[in-house]
Amino acid sequence: MKTSNRITKTALLPALLLAVLAAAACGRVKSVPLHQAFSFDKIDKSASVLPKDMVVGDHLVTYDETNLAGKLPPARPVQAITCGNPELKRVAITIDDGWNTDMRILELLKEWDIEWTAFLIGGRGVAESNLDLVRAVRDAGAEVCNHTYSHYVMSGKDHAFVVDELWRSQEAITRVTHEIYPYTRFSGGAYDNACLQWAAEQGFWMVNWTVSSGDTSKGVTVDFQVNNILGNLRPGAIILFHFGGYNTYEVLARVIPEIQRRGYEVTSLSRVLEGTPFVLRAPD
C-alpha cells in the first residue's frame, strides 16, 4: 500500500504543476513560488519521478539540489551589474551576508509585503548550517541569491576556487529554496575580469550596487544613511544593506515609505532588471 501511494503521488505531480502554472498565468490564482505551492519535503526522494527543472519567471526551479553545475545557461553579456532598467521607476532592496541577522528586518519586509533580494553566504555559519535562516529569509519575500561560500575576495583567485565558491554556496541555498537565481555578489563587490568571466560561464551575473546604505561603517548615523540613499535615488537603483549592519532596520523603516511616496516601486533585483539583457531566459 505504501508503494502504491508513492507512485500515485509522483504520477500526479506533473499534472498538478501544470495546473498551478496555467492558473497563475491566467490570473486566477496569486502567483507563488513552487516551493510554497507544494510540500515536496514529504515526497520520497528515491521516487523515480520528480518534477523536471523548469524556468519559472526569473529563476530556475529544481529538485536535484546536489547536481547544480550546468543547470544555468551562460550569463550573457558578461558584465558587472550596478543598476537596473532606467526606464522603470523601481528600486531594489538587496541585503547581504547573514551574520548577526536582525530579525526585525525580516518581520518588517514581510509585514509590508516587500519583494526584495538576499545575497546569503553559503558557509561561515550562514546558509549551510542555518537552514532556518534561509527559510525565514525566503518566507519574508526574498529571492535568495548566493554571496559565495566563504565570503573571501574573489579577485585574484583561480578558476577552480571561484567555481567551487559559487556552487557550494548555491547548493546550501537551493537545498532549502529549490530555486537558482542567475545572480551572485562577491565580497566587497571586488572582482577582476577573470572571475567575472568564470561566473558568467556558470550562469551568474555579478551584481554590485548603485548606492550603499553605509551600514558597515561604525558610528554612522541614521540621518546620514537615509539622506545618502534618498540623494542617490533614481530609476533602477540597487541599494545595498547588510543583515547585521548598523541601523539597517531603522534605515529601512524610514526610506521604504519615503521612496514609495516619491512614486517608486520598492522591490527585488529581478524586478528592476526587467527589460534588460540580464534576465534568465527559458530555453526555446
Provide the whole-model pTM. Answer: 0.83
> How much of the chain exceeds pLDDT 90, in percent?
79
Residue 9 has pLDDT above 90, yes or no: no
Query: Which cell goes with 229?
Result: 540613499
pLDDT score of 281: 86
Q: Where are the domains of the chain?
A: 2-51, 90-272
pLDDT score of 283: 74
Q: What is the pLDDT of residues 113-150, one digit of tens each?
A: 999 999 999 999 999 999 999 999 999 999 999 999 99
Highest mean pLDDT among 17-31, 53-67, 188-202: 188-202
DSSP string, 18-81: HHHHHHHHTTSS----HHHH--GGGS-TTSS--PPPEEETTEEE-S-TT--TTSSPP-SS---B
pLDDT score of 42: 40
Bridge partners of 267, per DSSP, are 92
How high is the mean pLDDT of the chain? 87
Query: Which cell goes with 175?
Result: 537545498
pLDDT score of 22: 42
Residue 6 has pLDDT above 60, yes or no: no
Q: How far is CA 182 from CA 18, 50, 151, 235, in A?
A: 23, 23, 18, 22
Q: What is the pLDDT of residues 38-85, one digit of tens each?
A: 334 444 454 456 788 999 989 999 998 888 999 999 999 999 999 999
Helical pair 103-111 and 131-139, crossing angle rounded to 10 deg = 30
Residue 16 has pLDDT above 80, yes or no: no
Residue 4 has pLDDT above 50, yes or no: no
Please compute Rg for the chain using Cα positions: 19
Q: How far is CA 70 from CA 37, 154, 167, 199, 217, in A?
A: 26, 20, 10, 12, 38
Tell me if 165 sits within 8 A of 155, measured CB to CB.
no
Q: pLDDT tier at 238 (50, 70, 90 boundaries)?
A: very high
The length of the chain, given as a count of residues: 284
Query: How do the residues of the chain divide into helix, strand and coil, expressed in percent and rounded to 5?
Result: 40, 15, 45
pLDDT score of 65: 81
Beta strands across the sheet bearing 54-56: 54-56, 59-61, 179-180
Phi then psi dihedrals of residue 33, to 5 deg:
-60, 150
If one compares 35 and 115, the residue with the highest pLDDT of the two is: 115
Instruction: Give domain 90-272's CATH number out of 3.30.930.10, 3.40.50.2300, 3.40.50.970, 3.20.20.370.
Output: 3.20.20.370
Q: How many CB atoms lie within 10 A of CB 69?
A: 13
pLDDT score of 91: 98
